Amino acid sequence: MVGGQQACRQEQELKVTDEGGGQVNTDPVQSSAPLKPLKVFGLPFAREGVPHMVATLLFTVVLGLFFKLAGVVCGLVIFALVVNFFRDPERLPPDDPQAIVAPADGKVIQVTDLHDERFFSAPATRVSIFMSPLDVHVNRIPWSGRVLDVRYNPGKFFRAFAEKASLDNEQTAIRLADDQGRELWVVQIAGFVARRIVCGVEPGDTVRRGQRYGMILFGSRADVYFPVGAADLVVQVGDRARAGETILARWR
């Protein structure tokens, strides 16, 4: 789980109380610092975005010195895009003990059954969500349980919506299991623009559905795998998803 472009920090302790087989409360999910959002003028932002926002403001000042008003306007447009990218709104997980929720905001681009031996020896269902640069990029846990494994693959940087991205792109995969033996994998996949994956969990951590656990910077994709027939699908290709809230499937 070592990689120059991956920030899977050991100091990010995300120990939370397991609420028993996927039962969650109805309060907005909070996570331990440093993944807890930073409030700026009362608005929540991902902490990873602060250096980028500061750098963009400084860049705006430089543009203003050289290009006057036109430079300032250009810089402020870029700053607005960066601020929009790093927003981190609170999310309220559904009050449904069987629900598997989306790990990311974006568009569902694929729902398919396949045999991927990296994750399951038997066929699995994969739900893929594409995050454009305009979507919220903070990732959330799809199902309450314990982290059994975290795998990092340095990979390449094909476009995130391409089929080969699931196999070849830089990615971090997390294996989750609950006390009933139900397992799933959630995979963060870097895209053509993305160059950094942030993952804040480690094997042995207990996590809660809807909890923040990481993000992918600047355009990416998230996949969820679970055994074929283990859950009933709720979403279909073309649907929009909201991390921590949209139900992808329900355990049978």
User: Residues with catalytic annotation?
Assistant: 220
Distance, in Å, from the CA atom of 184 to the CA atom of 198, rounded to the nearest integer, reads 20
Distance, in Å, from the CA atom of 19 to the CA atom of 39, rounded to the nearest integer, reads 28
Q: Report CA 136 to chain centroid distance, whole Å.
A: 9
- Token representation of residue 189: 């996949």
Cα-atom radius of gyration of the chain, to the nearest Å?
18
Distance, in Å, from the CA atom of 202 to the CA atom of 115, rounded to the nearest integer, reads 26
Burial label for 64, CB within 10 Å (0-12, 13-18, 19+), is middle
Pairing of strands 99-101, 106-114: unpaired
> Residue 229: left if φ>0, alpha if ψ -120 to 50, beta else—which one?
left
Q: Do the Cβ atoms of 231 and 250 come closer than 8 Å? A: yes
